[in-house]
Structure 1
Amino acid sequence: MEAVQLPTTWSVDQILDDLDQHGFSIIDNAYDQDYVEQLIEECTSNLNRFRNAAIQNGVVSNIRSDHILWLNEDLEVSQQHVQTLHVLAQELNRAFFLGIKDVEAHFACYNAGEFYALHRDNPQGKNGRMISAVYYLHNEWQDDWGGELHLQDKNDKWHTLQPKPNRIAMFQSDLLHEVQKAKHQRLSITAWLRSDAQLI
């Protein structure tokens, strides 16, 4: 496989500054449209493999109602996104000494009426998740379709981030956040940049 490079639409300096100042960053127009279409195709053609999302140790909870499919080597298109996050992780390690070693990721589908209540991806440093990155995968999204990411930044200010197509919302995994109820099918890849090696 040829070496993966960060897309030119990703401003590393801006990402680092945003994370440093606010604890989150937005990347719009993350990938070229050909790759976006391939990702959407890979996701939608595997929807029958999605399972109810679990919280810890396979326990399904009423805090969330989405459906997921963990990414592995047989999902070759999305692996390119994972490898791109590995490249970004090297920049984050240089800037913030996070010690990121691995990226875990899954496709996520929120059907109409589904949500994920307030939570932290790494509460009190209980796991190796350092940075969370949500890539929005659908072809279109209207503002009244719900599914927003509601996030409290590192300065305790709240933000409502629209799940716009081809957007990545990246944030510290210890920040409080929720996915508000979707009114339309919402597709994404959720990834965590980890300071440990996670075996799925």
Structure 2
Amino acid sequence: MPTEVQPVKSLYVENSIPAFSREEPFSNLLMDLQTKGWSVQDDFFSTDFTQALMDEVENIHIAYMQQAGVGRKQDHQVVLDTRRDYIQWIDPDKPIKKDFLKMMEDLRVALNRRLFLGLFDYEAHFARYETGAFYEKHIDAFKGESNRILSTVLYLNEGWQEGEGGELVIYDENDPTIEIGRFYPKKGRLAVFLSECFYHEVVVANRTRHSIAGWFRINNTTSMTLDPDQ
């Protein structure tokens, strides 16, 4: 009996998918950051570009992801009472990842031109929150102690429904006990906020939740200390 041949999924070809569907994709984001320090933009990338990123993260086997922790380099440690997601850092080793990093580089240039932030580079990882995973309220950078300036989160989930948890909660810059926004991890939604100003958390997810978390950074390298990445 002949073996059934499964159809081969078409592969993403670099630069074959337009990244944006709007003529000025950064304008609303830049205005929000200038006026309030945070922004949430739906459908930031084109539908096809977002889908290509979704395909990429969904096809990562859990064995090739690492348990996320807190701290950087020698200070890094896994604290399951604080966060329970798995991550894989994004390197430009595949076309869709290369193009995503290029688009975020274009955004870095636009941010520096408009807001004079002196951003030096961008780092990002895929994140997977399995059922029951969460990330407690935290801040991405303490004033004067980090090179992370802007945090970004791009959501890569199809048909997220109310009651499935996994929301991003952002708290008031001046009073971190006050919630100013709660956002479902909807497909194509991008959140950006000042890393040292806004406490935030990820509510317990009731289904697998994917995203790309990233940070625009300044360069803190000095003659005495090398600025670490990741």
Q: Do the structures match in fold with TM over 0.5?
A: yes
Q: Which of 129, 134, 140 is the equivalent residue of 1:110?
A: 129
Distance in 1, matches of 2:130 and 2:68, equals: 13
Specify the alignment match of 1:183 in structure 2. Answer: 206
User: Does 1:171 pair with 2:186?
Assistant: no
Larger displacement relative to structure 2 (107-116 or 147-156): 147-156
Tell me by how many angstroms 1:20 deviates. Answer: 2.1
Distance in 2, matches of 1:6 and 1:91, equals: 16
Q: Which of 142, 161, 168 is the equivalent residue of 2:183?
A: 161
Which string of whole-angstrom CA distances, capped at 9 and with x for unpartnered residues, describes residues 2-44 of structure 1?
Answer: 7xx9724354332122112221111211222222222112111
Specify the alignment match of 1:99 in structure 2. Answer: 118
Q: Percent identity?
A: 33
TM-score (norm 1): 0.90
Amino acid at match of 1:98: L
Tell me by how many angstroms 1:198 deviates. Answer: 4.8
Q: Which of 116, 128, 131 is the equivalent residue of 2:147?
A: 128
For 2:160, what is the secondary structure of its paired residue? coil
For 1:69, what is the secondary structure of its paired residue? strand
Which string of whole-angstrom CA distances, capped at 9 and with x for unpartnered residues, describes residues 45-86 of structure 1?
Answer: 113211100111331012111110011122431232222111
Count of aligned positions = 199
Distance in 2, matches of 1:106 and 1:14, equals: 24
Contact 1:133 1:192 in 2 (8 A): yes
Contact 1:22 1:155 in 2 (8 A): no
Structure number with the higher helix fraction is 1
Question: Which stretches of structure 1, 4 residues or more, deviate above 4 A after TM superposition?
Answer: none
Distance in 2, matches of 1:11 and 1:154, equals: 26
Distance in 1, matches of 2:51 and 2:19, equals: 19
Across the aligned residues of Structure 1 and Structure 2, the Cα RMSD in angstroms comes to 2.2
Distance in 2, matches of 1:132 and 1:188, equals: 13
Amino acid at match of 1:199: D
Matches within 5 A, 1:6-155: 7-9=20-22, 11-48=25-62, 49-56=64-71, 57-61=75-79, 62-154=81-173
Amino acid at match of 1:72: D
Larger displacement relative to structure 2 (174-183 or 20-29): 20-29
5+ residue gaps in structure 2? 1-13, 220-226
For 2:149, what is the secondary structure of its paired residue? strand
Higher-Rg structure is 2
Contact 2:19 2:45 in 1 (8 A): no
TM-score (norm 2): 0.79
Distance in 2, matches of 1:23 and 1:153, equals: 11
Tell me by how many angstroms 1:154 deviates. Answer: 3.5
Distance in 1, matches of 2:193 and 2:19, equals: 18
Distance in 1, matches of 2:174 and 2:112, equals: 22
Amino acid at match of 2:59: S
Larger displacement relative to structure 2 (150-159 or 64-73): 150-159
Larger displacement relative to structure 2 (12-21 or 91-100): 12-21
Larger displacement relative to structure 2 (82-91 or 11-20): 11-20
